[in-house]
Structures are given as C-alpha cells and as structure tokens.
Structure 1
Amino acid sequence: MGQARWPLLCVGAVLSGACSHFDEGRVLTAAQRPAVELSRTADTRADALPQDWWSLYQDPQLDRLVNAALAHNRELAAAQANVQVLLGGLRGAAAGRWPTTRLGYGYRYGRDGDDQTLADATASHADSQFKHEAQWGLDYELDLWGRVAAGIVAARADAEAAQAARDLLRVSVAAQTTRAYLRVCALGARREVQQQSVALLQSSLDLTRRQQAAGVLTELDVSRQQSLLEQTRALLPRLQGQRQAALFELAVLSGQPPQHLDQQASHCQRLPSIARPLPVGDAWSLLQRRPDIRQAERQLFAARARIDTAKAELYPQVHFGAALESSAASFGAMGDSKALTFAIGPLISWRFPNREQAHARVEQAQASSEGALARFDSVVLEALRDTEQALALYAGERQQRAALARATAQSQRAYELARLSLDAGAVDGLELLDSQRTLVRQQAELAEADLRLLERQVALFRALGGGWQRVHTPRSLALHTGARP
C-alpha cells in the first residue's frame, strides 16, 4: 500500500482495532491520525455531537416522532433482518472450527462383499441374512493454511458491514423524520405569516374603498389593492398542500399508512430552534462516527480475508478422521470385538486439476481487495466533502437569513411611514401599494429562509453521522466472534 493511502485506510481501524492483516488488537495512536480538520464557521462549536442531536431543538413532539420512526420504520426492519441473515452466515463459518460427526444405524437383508469373500475362501455358499449395522464417524479439518480462520473473519466483517449499513439507514431515518417535522412546523408558521399578510391587505383594501368613496383615491387604486390581496391569498392552498405532504411523510417514516396523520404534529405552528451554536466536533470523531466509513472499512477487511481463503485452495486439505462400525446378525452381538471395525488417522486431499481455477480466484480476490480499498478512500473523502459542504451552506444560509430579517424590518418601517404619509396626503395610493407589496414579499422570503436554515441544520447533522450511536452490537455477534460491543 502506498504511503499516501495509509492515513485513509487507518481511519476505520478505530472501529475494528486493525490496520494490518487480521491484527484486531492494534489501536492507533494520535500520531497516526489523518491530518484533516473541519472548517470553523460562525454559530458552530467543537463540542462533541450528542447521540440524539434532534433533542437540541428541545421539542418533545420531535423526540417522540424520531423515536417512533427508529422503532417502527419498515426499511430499518428490513435492514435489521439482513443483519440477522449475515449473522447466521457467521455462525455457519464459525462452526467450521469444530469437527463434524455422523451416526447411523440400519437393519437390512442381504449379503455383502465380506460374506462373499468368506464363502469363496471356504468353498461354501454365501447365504443372505438379516444384519444390524451401526456407524459412527468424526471428521475435523486441520486449518493449516488458514482457510477456515479467513472465512470466519470475512463472515464477521460482512456482518459488521451490514450493521453499519443499518446504522447508516438510522441516520437517514432520523434526519428525514426531523426534516419532515420541521417542514410541518415551518409551513404552519409560513401560513400564519401569509394569513397575517392577507388580513393586512384586506384592511388596506377597506381603507382604500373608503378613500375612493370620499373622492381621495380612484377605482384604479382599488383594483391594484384587490389584485395584490388575491395574489397573496392564492398562496394559502399551496402552503396547506405542502404541509399535508410533510405529514404524510411523517406517517410513512413511522411505519404507518399515509392517512394515519399525527394529530399532535399537525398542530405545530411554531418554528423549533437551537438556541446555542451547533456542536460539530472534529474531523477525527466524524470519521469514527460515520457509518458509511465503517461499512467501507469492514468491506475492505472482508475482501482482504477472502484473498487468504482463495490462497488456501492452492494447498492440500488435511483432515483428521475417526470411524467405528459394527455389523452383526443379532443386535446383542454388535458389541463383540469380532463385529467391530475402526479407523483413525489423517487424510490429505489435493485438487491438482483445479489449481488454475484456484489461481484465478486468488487474482479475483486481490482485484476485489484493490477495489474495496479505492472505495474506502472514496468514502472517507466524500464524508469530509459532505461535511464541509454542509458547513459552508449552513453558514451562507444563516447569513442570508440575518440579512433578510434586517430587510424585513426596514420594509415594515417603510410601510408604516407610507401609511402615515397617505393619511397626511403626502403620497398617493400607488406608493402605499408598493410598500405593501415589498413588505409581503419580504415576510414571505424571511419565512422561507427560516425553513431553509432548519433544513441546512438537519443536513449538517446528517453529514456528521449523528443518530446511530444507540444501536449496540447484537449479543450473538459478540458471542460468536469475540467482537467488542
């Protein structure tokens, strides 16, 4: 392996404890950590990311919905079933360390080769007869070339990769649930803003009509005011539809049909927020935490183990066997020494005609290992890229939201001044209409910015890999492999 690729490969060793072949007891020192750091942006801090990052919003409804989704999501249930399938394969591979035995009993009529041989030797006739036959055998493979051990390592790595895939799905489910709930709340708040704008414009329309009746304003002023009111009101059905769609998504994420809307969540009209800077940790903890990195590292480890499995096929297989058989005309005579036969000793088998196939399998395994290494490097780099992009987009969205808040405040002030000026006769109705249009637009943009900012927060937490830590290694995996939970 090239020196430049060593740091990336060793990232996953914190999860497996290994950077060298089958050396699962090795622990990396601080000097071996890859030299990467996360960018520091405003409103973030280097504190460790909490296990349940959604609790930072301090919203009991959100906590309840995420926990329900993690417990009942059907995709997660399928991922857990896949883990159990691979654990079964691991138990099968681990059973290769133990001998296999066989036990049989039969009662049949006829004559065998021994009877015929005896008849030929004594110049007599071999009569057919009933016989009791019992067999017991033992076979144990001496794993001289590490085939069984490498198979166990590969099966264990496959099971751990499936666990990492499940944990990656947990990260996704937690993020999707949080995002859907935040959309419900943000769209509820957005609808409230739109309704307030409608009420404001309705009040202005009533005033405009009174001023028209008094001869101060014209029919054109009334028509313009009416048009702006209808345009603002027309957005309400779309906002309601988007909110309903988010509620449908929440139901399905929790393993329920879309029609089973969460009534408590449907009443949310307040934007949840995080009052303190976001905890993002450092790059090293990020690389330890991301399940996709763990999955790629375990897949690489399995691929390397399969190289040794393939190489073992180049060498003879050595088995130690034992057998005990008994055959007698009566059941009571089966224990006599004359009725017993036994054999014990090693057996060597070597498949010479298939050595070319074995060499081809070794080359395939080595190519798969190189591919897994490249994939591992790619996943590590993508994890760093995703997090840096999420940090940059969050910082940009936060700055834009702050600018929109200032602009909205100024638009509110401009509208109030225009209305006072209209009452004093200093401006006409068109200037008031322009200030109203600007205020309504700014309020809508600010509400949209609030939603985008929340979504950027969720995207950042997802990139950081939060939400999987509460899943522990199943007992069966630790029992059969010695893995540490």
Structure 2
Amino acid sequence: MNLVKKLAPITLALLITGCAVGPDYQKPETTLAQTYLYAGSEASIDSEYWWKQFNDPTLNEMVISVQQQNIPLQLAAERIKMADSYKNAIESFKVPTVSIGGGYYNYQLSKNDSMLGPALNPIDVPGAGSVTLLDNQHDGGFVGGSINWELDLFGRIDRQTNAASIRAEQAEIFQSGLTTLITADLVHNYVQYRGARERKLLAMENIEDQRKTLALVEKVVRSGYGSEMDYAQAKAMLAATESIIPQLEIAEQVHKYRLAILLGEPLTQIDVRLADDNELPEFSALIPVGLPSDLVKRRPDIRMAEREMAAVNEELAASVANRYPKFFLTGSPGVSASSFDDLFSSDSFGWATAVGVSWNVFDGGRGEAMVELNEARFKSAALSYQHTVDSAFAEVDSALFAYGRSQQNQTQLNEAVQATDKAVSKAKSLYKAGLIDHLSVLDAQRQQRVIQDRQVAAKLQSANSTIAVYKALGGDWSTTPQA
C-alpha cells in the first residue's frame, strides 16, 4: 500500500506531462488546373440519380436492384462491419480491462510432506495431550476480480486507434467506389444489349430488302438484261449481312449473362426484365464536369490513396511510440473464506495492486527496423497518391475528349440518317411516277439501313463515353440519398 502511495504522484505527473510521439499527419497539397482541358458546357443535375437521364424505367429498376442484390456489394458491406469491429477492438485497449470470477475450492495437504507433514500429524504436548497444528483438509469459496490498464503515455494505443478508424473509412470509400463501378457496369451492359438487339432488327430488315433485291436481279439476269456479276454482288452482299446476325445474337447473350451475374438472378428473370423491348436509351442531359479540385474529393481511388497515407502515418507513429516504456496498473480485489456464511464479511476482503513498467532496452534492432519499414511504407503511399492523382486527371481529360468526339460523330450520323430518309422518300416518289425501277428503291432502302446501323453504333459509343466520363469524375451512383 505504501508503495502505491509513493508511485501515485509519479504516475499522475507522467499522465499530465506525457505526450504522443511520432510524426503528425498533414494532407497533401496538389497543384490543380482551373478547368479540364476538354471540358464542355455543364448542367446541374442530381448526380446521385444520374443514370435516370437515360429516361429508361427498366434501367432505373435494374440499378436499384443491383445495388441491393449484387454480391460483391454485399461483401463490401460486410467488410465495413469487420473494419468497424476491428476499430472497436483496438479502442478497447484505451480503457481498463475488468474481469470477475468466483468458485469453490477443496484441497488436502499430504501428511507425508517434508515441510508441512509435522504440522499435519498429531504431536504430544506435555500437559495438553495430542494436538495438531494444521488441518490437512480445507475448503471454501472465493469471489474476486482483476483490473488491468496500460497507461498510454506516449500515444501508442491512440495512434493504433486512429489507424483503425482510417481503415474503417477506407472500407466505406471502397464500398462507394465499388457501387459506382457496379452501377456503371450494369448500365453499360444494359445499353449494349439494347444496342445489339436494335442492330439485329435493322440487319433483319436489311436482309429482307436484300433478298428482294437479289430476286429482282435474278429476274433481270434471266430476262437477258442483267449481268452475272450484278447477281453475284447482290448474293455476296446478302450473305455478308446475314453473317452479322450470329455476331449480334452472341453480343445479346453475353450482355444478358453479365446482367444476370451483376443482379444475382437467373437468366429467365433477366428475360422477364427485358421483355418490354425498349429501344436503345439516349442520355438527355449535359454532364456536370465540375472543377478539378472537386475530383480529389470525389474519386474513390484518390480518397483511398490519401487515407492510406494517413493510416500508414499513424502506424509509423505507433511503431515509434512502441520503442518507449510501457506503464501498467493492475489490481485484484476479492473475498475468500472457508465458509460461505463468512464470504462477504469485512474480514474476508483482500486485494493486491501493482504499478509496473516494461521497456525493451535491447531487441536486436527490431524496433528500429519497424520504424524504418513504416517510413518506407509512408513514402510509397505518398508516391502512390501522386500517381493516382496524375492518372485520374489524365483519365478525365481522355474521357472528355472521347465524349466530345462521340457527340460530333452522333450528330453527323443523325444528319446522314435524315438525308437517307429523304433519299428513300424521293426514290419511292420516282418509282410511283414510273421514272425508276423498284431495284433503285430497294437500293436506297439498303443504304438507309446501313446508315441507321451506323447511327445505332454511334449511340452506343456515345453512351459508353458518357459512362466513362462519369466513372472518371468519380460520382456517387448510390440509390440511397447522402446525408
């Protein structure tokens, strides 16, 4: 007791004057441009529900389903729970560990024991007869507890707790980024399926027109007014168009299977979802590009890289603090008695306390090596962060460039479709007037189908570049509104 009283002021002084050791973390500063190189005009739209700008109810329903059913997203949610549990486990070291216990004991001492035997066997005492100094059988009960606490004078546990908290943040960032990727993958495969189906329908219409053309050419050749070369060319063109159908059917099936995997549903359920036979959706709004400074806050990979630096910095500080002394307080209060009736009387109470210190004064360089290891890890994390930022900005500019060119391509093909529509209408008028034959009408329709197919391909390219831009900008595709 006197020792504890002597050590208490010293311990209190250490608690007051103790301070954390190791480097303090500062967020990196990155020099950013004012605008993106290929940024166009912007619109203010709800980025949380950005995919709705495709104006496709089936797509909207599938996005909601994929964010609720996708297995990797469910795994990411469990990863967050694990990270939170680990953080709570590390935080528990900051408070005393208290345990309680109790029980019944019974034991018998050996009468033949070399030390206690004489006290257990009767001895003759003059005037008192035969006496036994010590009973050889004992029993009783006890109830007690123990308290253990490490005084975190140099911040080792605090630093480990901070690192665990940052790892929990990373788990949430990972889930957010994965949600964006999964949603983008679903939108991409949905659009590709619709595009492949629309192109197949156009190809089937074109095949029908080419069969009519082939029949007319064959009739002309049989009448002696046509050439075998014209017939061979028409037949080859028909065969080439027919060969496209299997490729488009493969594309349909591949994207349906991918949708089934993303949604975690059987293919029959995907067929039910796609039974509405919608056309290829088009994006109906401008992309909210934002400022380059926003990218650092939005991109999951940049946020993850920055948090990695912060976590490693805390682990580095913990390894520095681990080389300093560790102070412990322990206590074991309890009651013990040979009779349960006396167990909770004041005379049955007993306790033991201790204040201790532990310091590795020599460990063969292990502590220094751990510090150097974490210093190297921090430098690696800093380099990785810089590389991630550079790659992100390059990806955004590249995606914006592709988006702009795809928009130009689609605009030009829209004009081409309008021109072929006029050409077909004119050919039909001339045919009704008897100025051209039906072969010319079929040829105009064939050219119309070809341009329409290229228009669908341009829509697909535009949709893909739109998705790529949004992924590059790091938007949150969660269906749950952010607080």
Sort the TM-score into its range (normalised by shorter chain): 0.7 to 0.9
Of stretches 42-51 and 101-110 in structure 1, the one that deviates more from structure 2 is: 42-51
Report whether the alignment pairs 1:105 with 2:102.
Answer: yes
Equivalenced residue count is: 445
Of stretches 344-353 and 314-323 in structure 1, the one that deviates more from structure 2 is: 344-353
The offset of 1:43, in angstroms, is: 5.8
Residue aligning to 1:476:
none
The DSSP-based 3-state class of the residue aligned with 2:328 is strand
For 1:455 and 1:169, the matched residues in 2 are separated by 18
For 2:117 and 2:177, the matched residues in 1 are separated by 69
For 1:265 and 1:105, the matched residues in 2 are separated by 66
- Residues 161, 296 of structure 1: 8 Å contact kept: no
**Counterpart pick for 2:176 among 167, 182, 203:** 167
**Counterpart pick for 2:48 among 25, 44, 51:** 51
Distance change >3 Å, CA 83–CA 347, structure 1 → 2: same
Distance change >3 Å, CA 355–CA 46, structure 1 → 2: farther
For 1:191 and 1:65, the matched residues in 2 are separated by 23
Residue aligning to 2:459:
450
Residue aligning to 1:460:
469
The offset of 1:189, in angstroms, is: 1.7
The DSSP-based 3-state class of the residue aligned with 2:335 is strand
Residue aligning to 2:399:
390
Residue aligning to 2:70:
73
Distance change >3 Å, CA 108–CA 273, structure 1 → 2: same
Q: Which amino acid aligns with 2:374?
A: A
Report whether the alignment pairs 1:92 with 2:89.
Answer: yes
For 2:75 and 2:205, the matched residues in 1 are separated by 46
How is 1:112-151 mapped onto 2 (pairs within 5 angstroms)? 124-125=133-134, 127-151=136-160
Identity over aligned residues, as a percent? 23
Of stretches 294-303 and 72-81 in structure 1, the one that deviates more from structure 2 is: 294-303
Distance change >3 Å, CA 418–CA 224, structure 1 → 2: farther
For 2:144 and 2:39, the matched residues in 1 are separated by 78
Structure 2: tracts of 5 or more residues without a match: 1-22, 110-114, 121-130
Report whether the alignment pairs 1:371 with 2:366.
Answer: no
Q: Which amino acid aligns with 2:93?
A: G
Distance change >3 Å, CA 50–CA 92, structure 1 → 2: same
The offset of 1:78, in angstroms, is: 1.1
Of stretches 145-154 and 379-388 in structure 1, the one that deviates more from structure 2 is: 379-388
Report whether the alignment pairs 1:62 with 2:59.
Answer: yes
**Counterpart pick for 1:285 among 269, 275, 294:** 294
- Residues 335, 350 of structure 2: 8 Å contact kept: yes
- Residues 314, 355 of structure 1: 8 Å contact kept: no
How is 1:156-305 mapped onto 2 (pairs within 5 angstroms)? 156-305=165-314
- Residues 105, 139 of structure 2: 8 Å contact kept: yes
Q: Which amino acid aligns with 1:169?
A: L
Q: Which amino acid aligns with 1:277?
A: L
TM-score normalised per structure 2: 0.81
The DSSP-based 3-state class of the residue aligned with 1:353 is coil
How is 1:283-362 mapped onto 2 (pairs within 5 angstroms)? 283-354=292-363, 356-362=365-371
The DSSP-based 3-state class of the residue aligned with 2:333 is strand
The offset of 1:416, in angstroms, is: 7.9
The offset of 1:388, in angstroms, is: 1.1
- Residues 37, 397 of structure 2: 8 Å contact kept: no
The offset of 1:143, in angstroms, is: 1.2
Per-residue CA distance 1:215-254 (angstroms, 9 max, x = gap)? 4323442332222122212212221221122112111111
- Residues 147, 330 of structure 2: 8 Å contact kept: yes
- Residues 39, 289 of structure 2: 8 Å contact kept: no
For 2:464 and 2:177, the matched residues in 1 are separated by 19
The DSSP-based 3-state class of the residue aligned with 1:132 is strand
- Residues 32, 292 of structure 2: 8 Å contact kept: no
Of stretches 168-177 and 459-468 in structure 1, the one that deviates more from structure 2 is: 459-468
Residue aligning to 1:82:
79
Per-residue CA distance 1:118-169 (angstroms, 9 max, x = gap)? 969x994563311323332211221111111111111111111111111111
Distance change >3 Å, CA 470–CA 21, structure 1 → 2: farther
Distance change >3 Å, CA 228–CA 90, structure 1 → 2: same
The offset of 1:366, in angstroms, is: 1.5
Distance change >3 Å, CA 276–CA 330, structure 1 → 2: closer
Q: Which amino acid aligns with 1:70?
A: Q
For 1:245 and 1:258, the matched residues in 2 are separated by 11
The DSSP-based 3-state class of the residue aligned with 1:346 is strand
Distance change >3 Å, CA 336–CA 309, structure 1 → 2: same
Residue aligning to 2:127:
none
Q: Which amino acid aligns with 2:166?
A: A
- Residues 247, 266 of structure 1: 8 Å contact kept: no
